[in-house]
Amino acid sequence: MKEHLEELLSQSLLHLQRDGVLPGDTDLKVQLERTRSPEYGEFASNLAMVLAKPAGMPPRKLAEAIIERVPMSRQVDRMEIAGPGFINIFLQRCALTGILKDVLRQGDKFGQLRRGGRNRITVEYVSANPTGPLHVGHGRGAAYGASLASIMSAAGYKVQREYYVNDNGRQMDILAVCVWLRYLELCGENTNFPENGYRGDYIYDIARLVRIDHGDKWRFTRLEVEDGLPPTIAEGGDGEAYLDALIQRAKELLGETGYLVFFNTALDNILSDIKEDLAEFGVHFDKWFSERDLEESDAVQHAIDRLRENGHLYEKEGAVWFRASDLGDEKDRVVIRENGRTTYFASDIAYFLNKLERGFQTAVYVFGADHHGYVARLRAAARGLGEDPDRLEILLVQFAVLFRFGEKVAMSTRSGQFITLRELREEVSTDAARFFYVMRSHDQHLDFDLDLAKSRTNENPVFYIQYAYARICSVFRNLEDMDQRHNGEIGNVALDLLTEDHEMQLMRNISRFTETIESAARLRSPHLLAHYLHSLATDLHSYYNAHQFLVKDENMRNARLNLILATGIILRKGLGLLGVSAPEEM
């Protein structure tokens, strides 16, 4: 509908340009928006005010000229000039009832748009290191990324969902060593577990698995393990050197095979736990991209070569640096360390390049707000590779702070005192968690009220929307009990009977659904859909209270049932895009 009107207006503008009223070089982009109130019609355009200056005539006069040249349309009732020069567009009834019929005909397929263009786009989210279970901080990125991908897909983008598995590097080594130490403990050895290691109980679980498969095969005494290592934190060291030395010692004592057993058992275990956790959260991926695969291919070297060819690398103090400061970053960055190993940043660059080479026009990254230092860095890298930095899109998701009994829930990763995503799901339900995470703009801090999310009252927006859907289903169940039938054909013919304010409001709101998907996708803002669904539920509840649907008159009854059936379809579809279920009974 909106597209149609935009088309009509641009026709008129072209006409005006041809007639010489508007200069040939005017930007004819049509701006059209929903009005705030029906007294201004459905849509309004500020075209006349924007173009008044180039046209050299007063806005209201120009508006008149524009309206005169708009082609006829069966959807449009009339256009009026209002205020300083707004063009208010009033639609024919059939424009609204037509959309209603579309919804009923297409059912769950309604809302699948084709506006995303042909380009493929990859959306990466979560990508948490597989060193422990997901916690509530990852939850928001998961909910946001998953909802965004679904919405963009509905808007017609060709979306691939991707998770970058950071299965290489020091953190993984630390993990493997921690498992080994816990294993030694289980074997009955006395160990000195590092304060800065992974201390969660899940480490014991993994150690237990190794022991079940391999017994005490890799048992060593405390002296063998710790002899000659640098000081721990407790002993006054910084702890990092201790960990590195411990990793070295583990590799020596365990040998490559033994070390890999600990490493891989930890990785496989945690990764499958993460996958299961996300699946239960309704969050899915098309590709789990392994960092090790990236390293084993020559992708990193390939990316570094590209930077070198483009003249962005130099050597200093034995390391190879990327001259990022020339490309918008604050400072230069190391890509190859003095010891010859490439940096994590080099992998990031390679991964980005890899995405483009796999045929994606745009790579969208959903990062936690703590990664915002990456934005300038990665954009500089994109430029350095000779690519358009706009092909890289980084969306930062702000932190969520949990509240229980009106108080902030304390969390600290260091002590292992963090709430896991799984615990959150079990406490408030997946539906509530998914909705709460995305109901605020992603660039806004989120206060997550656990008590509210659990509550089964009207204060809880999830239940409010689900309840609207359940009420609709309930009406249809009662219909059967009353031995009446719903006849959609009769209802469609009788749609013109729906003239009450509540009915008009509901129809108008239904007609906004596709626009909402389009803007939520374009603005990367699933919260717009969350708000939209809430407003649609409000309209339904108001209608429900004001009017009886199951009335004697067959035409009116079927027309009303068609209206609420269409509302239900939109609610179910919309909730589905947010990963929230639509229960038929509550």
Partner RNA sequence: GCCCUCGUAGCUCAGCAGGAUAGAGCAACCGCCUCCUAAGCGGUAGGUCACACGUUCGAAUCGUGUCGAGGGCGCCA
290 binds RNA (CB under 7 A): no
Q: Select the residue interacting with RNA from 319, 490, 493, 504 (CB under 7 A).
A: 319
Provide, rounded to whole angstroms, the least separation between the CB of residue 60 and RNA: 11
85: left (phi over 0), alpha (psi -120 to 50) or beta: left
Q: Select the residue interacting with RNA from 186, 544, 554, 581 (CB under 7 A).
A: 544
Angle CA 379–384–390, to nearest 5:
40
Provide, rounded to whole angstroms, the least separation between the CB of residue 125 and RNA: 16
Complex with RNA: residue 184 or 274, whichever CB lies closer: 274
**Sites for RNA among residues 161-220 (CB under 7 A):** 166, 168-172
83 binds RNA (CB under 7 A): yes
517 binds RNA (CB under 7 A): no
**Sites for RNA among residues 433-462 (CB under 7 A):** 440-441, 443-447, 456-459, 461
Of 512, 486, 507, the closest CA to residue 496 belongs to: 507
548 binds RNA (CB under 7 A): yes
Complex with RNA: residue 122 or 343, whichever CB lies closer: 343
Of 236, 226, 232, the closest CA to residue 184 belongs to: 226
Tokens 């959150």 -> residue: 424
Kindly give, in sequence order, each residue whose CB lies less than 8 Å from that of residue 464, ignoring residues fewer than 6 positions away. Answer: 458, 534, 537, 541
Provide, rounded to whole angstroms, the least separation between the CB of residue 211 and RNA: 27
**Sites for RNA among residues 230-249 (CB under 7 A):** 240
53 binds RNA (CB under 7 A): yes
Provide, rounded to whole angstroms, the least separation between the CB of residue 220 and RNA: 26
Per-residue binding letters, 127-146, with RNA (x by CB under 7 A): --x-----------------
Strand 287-290 and strand 158-165: pairing? Answer: parallel
**Sites for RNA among residues 331-390 (CB under 7 A):** 331, 333-334, 337-339, 343-345, 369-373, 375-376
Q: Select the residue interacting with RNA from 463, 507, 517, 582 (CB under 7 A).
A: 463
Query: Would you state the structure tokens that stand for residue 132, as one six-digit string?
Result: 């422990």
264 binds RNA (CB under 7 A): no
Per-residue binding letters, 2-41, with RNA (x by CB under 7 A): ---------------------------x-x-xxxxx-xx-
- DSSP notation for 210-266: HHHHHTTTT---HHHHHTTPPP-TTTTS-SHHHHHHHHHHHHHHHHHHHHHHHHHHH
Q: Select the residue interacting with RNA from 538, 554, 555, 581 (CB under 7 A).
A: 538
Query: Residue 168, SS3?
Result: coil
581 binds RNA (CB under 7 A): no
Tokens 């020596």 -> residue: 252
541 binds RNA (CB under 7 A): yes
Provide, rounded to whole angstroms, the least separation between the CB of residue 184 and RNA: 24
523 binds RNA (CB under 7 A): yes
Provide, rounded to whole angstroms, the least separation between the CB of residue 359 and RNA: 27
Kindly give, in sequence order, each residue whose CB lies less than 8 Å from that of residue 552, ignoring residues fewer than 6 positions away. Answer: none
475 binds RNA (CB under 7 A): yes
Mark the segment that binds RNA (CB under 7 A) among 151-159, 191-199, 280-288, 515-523.
Answer: 515-523
Provide, rounded to whole angstroms, the least separation between the CB of residue 216 and RNA: 31
Angle CA 269–270–276, to nearest 5:
90
Angle CA 156–158–164, to nearest 5:
135
Return d(Cα 264, Cα 326) in angstroms, integer: 41
Q: Select the residue interacting with RNA from 292, 429, 534, 554 (CB under 7 A).
A: 534
Contact 167, 290 (CB under 8 A): yes
Complex with RNA: residue 222 or 547, whichever CB lies closer: 547
Complex with RNA: residue 15 or 522, whichever CB lies closer: 522
Contact 445, 401 (CB under 8 A): yes
Complex with RNA: residue 212 or 482, whichever CB lies closer: 482
Return d(Cα 466, Cα 464) in angstroms, integer: 6
Mark the segment that binds RNA (CB under 7 A) among 156-164, 207-215, 278-286, 545-553.
Answer: 545-553
- DSSP notation for 489-533: HHHHHTGGG--SHHHHHHHHHHHTHHHHHHHHHHTT-HHHHHHHH
